[in-house]
Amino acid sequence: MFMPQRTKYFTYFFILLQGLFLISVVSCTVVRNYPKDRPFIFENTVNLQSIPKEDRSDLKLELEEQIEDSAKVAVASQLPWPKAPWIIPVPVIDRPNFYDSLSVLQSADNMQNLMLSKGYRRVHISVDSSLEVNKDQQRVKIQYNIDAGPLYTIDSISYRLADTNLTNILNLEKNNALLKKGEPFNYNLIDQELNRMVTIFRTRGYYNLTREDFFVEADSGFAELIDPSLDPFEYISKLSELKERKKKNPEIDLVVRQFPVKDSNSIKQYHIGQFTIYPDAPQNLSDMPTDSTVTFRDSFRIVSYYNTFKPDFISRFIAMKPGNLFNQDDFSKTLNNLNKLGIWQNINITPKPLNSIQKIDYELRLSPSKRQFFTIDLEGSSVLNTNQLVLVGSGRVGLALNVRLRNRNIGKKGIQLENSVRTGIEFNNFSKILSSEFTIGNRFSIPWLVTPFGKSFGNTLQNARTIITGDVSFINRFQYYDLRSISSFIGYEWKTKPHVTWQFKPFNIELTRIQQDSLFTDAIQRNPLLVYAYNNGLIVGNNISYNRSFNGKNQKHINSLRIYGEESGILLGTLFPGQTAKGKSLEDLYKFIRFDIDFRHYINWKKTSLVFRTFAGVGTALNTESRQGKITLPFFKSYFAGGPNSMRGWQIRKLGIGSNIFFDTLANGAFNDKYADIQLEANMEYRFKMFRLFGFWIRGATFTDIGNIWFRNNIDGQLPGSEFRFKNVFRDIAIASGAGVRIDFTFFLLRFDWGFPIKDPRYGPDKWNTAFYSNRKNGWFIDGVWNKPSFQFAIGYPF
């Protein structure tokens, strides 16, 4: 019987999965180095009842963490190398714990305390254990049975503090209270509320108040019956009604109180006294020089030993001004400001309270980091999928060397200068260099806003800085072209809130020049459309971005939003339109507007996470005197898809444009780097822990990427399928799915992904080129394509 090729692949694939599953089931658990004469812990099971399904999995994980270390299953890994079943993931227990009934009972007590802290006041826990003899192994299986019972909720919350000033302060912040009617009676929530109260007081000068000065009383009685107007019959009726209600939905009344004041200084407000700064103190006090210079700036006393920093530079980052009320937020802001500068190795603030006058003197000792910082990085890449290889324009193998030199303290004002050099080559079979790159970068980072509006402008902003860059780049594609570019910008970065970051570049200039070689000139003569993708360009404009992270009511959910806008030539091209004509100074000026939006949603559980990302970008190029007709964004500002951080079923810049195949067939694929004006993309990735190897976590992931890039219009009518049309989105959309492995080295993460192009819109029955002809409409599961994954390698997560 004839079996279609795609069906055959699916059949083999599912047979393989079923075989692996059966092997893993049969293999069960591997135990090593076990005691042959004593029972040991083989399995722990938590059976949780009376809990909604949506809350059960997370709560079970928390309960499992309450098991004593001596009563846990000693799982060493998930791969039983070098014994069978080798690479099949099954639990491996190495040196299991002896069975100890006292540790098991203590684990049950720990679980009960956890459930009580979460508001389950009627929880009941029982423990069952069974012994299973397997050859010479005495395996003990333990089951913790937990009947949670009803969840207690908060019926009322009141604050009764000894000091009326504290009560008045809380009343101003009552809308932000964490304890509210109807919320679960949760110890963690109560603790957070007490911490919130103390933070409020400590931002208003109450330096000596701590979390230990307050406590919460809980009463599950019947406060509603405290009514002298009730007659005996009404009282009996109401009592019966309340008992029945609280049996089904138990409620608790909470009262926040203050312990009796033992020290009157705890309820007094403190001011900042003398503030002494040692900006270049040695790390060891024994190395302290005898000579020093004392300077006063903005009421700060600055003691310098080596004249490493300007006094004005130091004082501007200290938010705790002498004479002001003590403010915990100013203390945190000062530490944050100093740490963000990155020029000190150690930062130590020592308070010296003066209770007799309610003041606090401070000493700030700063130990500078090494002024010079030098790094060298080596990168490598390899194209494994030869179907997507650029046959002439670039090579199979690439090497790059990055060198960085940073000076952390220019002009004694913490200004940082970073110089970088990047060199790279691409080649085939180590015989001929096909592409080379050389880039020099320079970056100034000034830790304040340099503006015409004066020194005080921007002082209320957080982590404000000014960035000035200048880069030069040379790229050579053998016998095709030399690409030279110069770029520079002046930009500002600041935070209005801890989770909101703004970046603004009021001046951005980029100049690109391309010098054609013989093969490229011939290609343009045969295919004039190449001039739309590879040409000289000048950008003069500005851009702005807004970044915000925020959480929903559920702390497991994290959101991230980035909005970006950029323009070039709108002002300059409008003021000097004549200069944009052929032969004039602004002949190569690009006029365009570009707008991007990127939204990400993270759902984090104990051992797994689910990540969603959506991206949309669109750019519009406008006419100038020298650029007329249907024009596109410059290729160095265009959108592209594919690679380790985008559509992972394709190599970088190899997807699209739309369903058009022009660049894939041009000169045998020599120019199949693809750029366009519009990009839509959606990604979903499920991440999970697998096992530990040599102390490092090996993590896995499965993913699906959906998207493509398009032109705004069909350039000169010669690129059918490349223009964006809503009615053709389903036809043009590409879909990749696959899996990956990540090696988590704590400080960085290595990522390996295999992406399968299960829907490639370049293929279909209406393609004029036989290489892209298929009887399957819209490019679904193209034989010989979808089952050949692209291998992606990168450092860090894609999003």
What pLDDT does residue 247 have? 56
pLDDT at residue 527 tops 70: no
Q: Which amino acid is at 195?
A: N
- CB atoms inside a 10 Å sphere around CB 87: 8
CA atoms within 13 A on the CB side of 366: 31
- The tokens for 407 are 């000076």
Please determine, for residue 15, whether its predicted confidence score (pLDDT) is greater than 50.
no
Strands 359-368 and 271-278: parallel
Provide mean pLDDT across the span 254-258: 87
Regarding beta strands 75-77 and 214-219, do their DSSP bridges make them parallel or antiparallel, or are they unpaired?
A: unpaired
**Dihedrals phi, psi of 670, to nearest 5 degrees:** -65, -25
Angle between helices 164-172 and 187-202 (to 10 degrees): 110
207 neighbors 270 (Cβ within 8 angstroms): yes
Give percent of the chain above pLDDT 90. 23
Q: Is the predicted pLDDT of residue 553 greater than 70, yes or no?
A: no
Can you give the three-state secondary structure of 481-543, one letter per residue? EEEEEEEEEEEEEEEEECCEEEEEEEEEEEEEEEEECHHHHHHHHHCHHHHHCCCCEEEEEEE
Question: d(Cα 634, Cα 799) in Å, to the nearest integer?
Answer: 26
Q: Which residue has the tokens 């096909």?
A: 434
Phi and psi, residue 515, nearest 5°: -110, 115
Task: Please choose, from the candidates 179, 208, 452, 499, the residue with its C-alpha nearest in 3D space to the C-alpha of residue 326.
Answer: 208
**Comparing 232 with 65, which gets the higher pLDDT?**
65
Query: What's the whole-number average pLDDT of the chain?
Result: 80
Give the residue with greater pLDDT, 548 vs 248: 548
Instruction: Say yes or no to pLDDT of 528 above 60.
Output: no
Identify the pLDDT of residue 694: 73
The bridge status of strand 397-410 relative to strand 372-382 is: antiparallel
Q: Residues 6 or more apart from 617 whose CB is under 8 A from it? A: 594, 595, 596, 597, 639, 678, 679
Find all residues with CB under 8 Å of 432, minimum gap 6, and list them.
478
Condensed to tens digits (0 to 9), the pLDDT of residues 402-422 reads: 888 988 888 888 899 999 998
pLDDT digits (tens, 9 = 90+) for 658-711: 888 777 776 555 566 788 899 999 999 999 888 777 778 888 899 999 999 998
The type of residue at 135 is: K
Assign 3-state DSSP to the chain and report helix, strand, coil percentages, each to 5. 25, 40, 35
Read off the pLDDT of residues 91-129 as tens digits, 9 standing for 90 and up.
778 888 899 999 999 999 999 999 888 888 888 999 999
Distance between CA atoms of residues 463 and 502, nearest Å: 11
Q: Are 39 and 138 in contact (CB under 8 A)?
A: yes
Give yes or no for residue 429 having a pLDDT over 70: no
What tokens appear for 546 in the block?
């807004």
**Residue 389 confidence (pLDDT) above 70:** no
Joined tokens for residue 485? 């570019």
Answer yes or no: is pLDDT of 657 > 80: yes
d(CA 538, CA 579) in angstroms, rounded, equals 13
Tokens coding 279: 């900006």
- 595 — pLDDT class (breaks 50, 70, 90): very high
Q: Is the pLDDT of residue 353 over 90?
A: yes
Pairing label, strands 591-604, 557-568: antiparallel
What pLDDT shows up at residue 532? 55
Tally helices (H) and strands (E) across the chain: 12, 30
Quote the tokens at residue 516: 């054609």
- Burial class, 777, CB count within 10 angstroms (exposed 0-12 / middle 13-18 / buried 19+): exposed
What is the distance between the alpha carbons of residues 697 and 742, in angstroms, rounded to a whole number? Answer: 8
Alpha carbon of 177 to those of 151, 332, 722: distances in Å?
Answer: 21, 22, 55
47 Cα distance to chain centroid: 35
In this structure, of 355-364, 561-570, 619-628, 770-779, the range with the lowest mean pLDDT score is 770-779
Weakest-pLDDT range from 297-306, 465-474, 527-536, 776-785: 527-536
Nearest to 463 by CA among 558, 337, 552: 337
DSSP, collapsed to helix, strand or coil, labels residue 6 as helix
Cβ burial 735-744 (10 Å sphere, 16+ → b, else e): bbbbebebee
The arithmetic mean of pLDDT across residues 754-774, rounded, is 82
Place of tokens 């990749």: 736
Tokens, residue 183: 């919320």
Asked if residue 656 has pLDDT above 90, the reply is no
- pLDDT of 544 reads 94
Residue 599, Cβ density class (10 Å: 0-12 exposed, 13-18 middle, ≥19 buried) = middle
Q: What is the pLDDT of residue 385?
A: 36
| 4 Cβ contact list (under 8 Å, min separation 6) | none
According to DSSP, the β-strands at 271-278 and 300-304 are: parallel
Residue 133 has pLDDT above 50, yes or no: yes
Q: Please tell me what DSSP assigns to residue 553.
A: S
Reported as a pLDDT band with limits 50, 70 and 90, residue 9 is very low
At 619 the three-state DSSP class reads strand
* 430 pLDDT above the threshold of 50: yes
Q: Are 437 and 424 in contact (CB under 8 A)?
A: yes
Q: Kindly state the average pLDDT of the residues 199-205.
A: 92
Q: How confident is the model at residue 505 (pLDDT cuts 50, 70, 90)?
A: very high
What's the distance, Cα to Cα, between the start and end of the chain in Å? 47
Nearest 5°: the CA angle 402, 467, 369 is 65
* Residue 453 pLDDT: 75
Residue 53: predicted pLDDT: 76
pLDDT > 90? residue 613: yes
**Full DSSP string of 162-212:** S-HHHHHHHHHTGGG-S--TTSB--HHHHHHHHHHHHHHHHTTT-TT--GG
Least confident of 118-127, 197-206, 224-233, 594-603: 224-233
Residues 499 and 550: their CA atoms lie apart, in Å, by 7
Question: What gap in Å lies between CA 240 and CA 235, rounded to an integer?
Answer: 9
Q: With H, G, I as helix, E, B as strand and everything else as coil, classify residue 358.
A: coil
pLDDT for 733 beyond 50 = yes
> Is the per-residue pLDDT at 645 higher than 60?
yes
Before 82, cis peptide (omega within 30)?
yes
251-258 and 214-219 strand pairing = antiparallel
How large is the average pLDDT for residues 63-67? 90
**Separation of alpha carbons 490 and 508, rounded Å:** 7
3-state helix/strand/coil string of 679-717: EEEEEEEEEEEEEEECCEEEEEEEEEEEEEEEECCCHHH
pLDDT value of position 331: 92
pLDDT at residue 246 in the model:
54
Confidence of residue 22 (pLDDT cuts 50, 70, 90): very low
**391: which residues sit within 8 A by CB, 6+ positions away?**
668, 669, 670
Least confident of 504-508, 623-627, 665-669, 759-763: 665-669
pLDDT at 232: 54
Token pair recorded at residue 350: 């020592």
Look up residue 532 and give its two tokens: 């739309």
Residue in the block written with tokens 């930009």: 491
Which residues are CB-contacts of 424 (< 8 A; sequence separation ≥ 6)?
Answer: 379, 398, 399, 400, 401, 436, 437
Amino acid at 648: R
Query: For residue 78, what pLDDT is reported?
Result: 56
Q: What integer pLDDT is reported at residue 704 of this predicted model? A: 92
Contact 777, 785 (CB under 8 A): no
For the cut 70, the answer to whether the pLDDT of residue 655 exceeds it is yes
Q: How confident is the model at residue 240 (pLDDT cuts 50, 70, 90)?
A: low
> If you average pLDDT over residues 469-482, what whole number do you get?
82
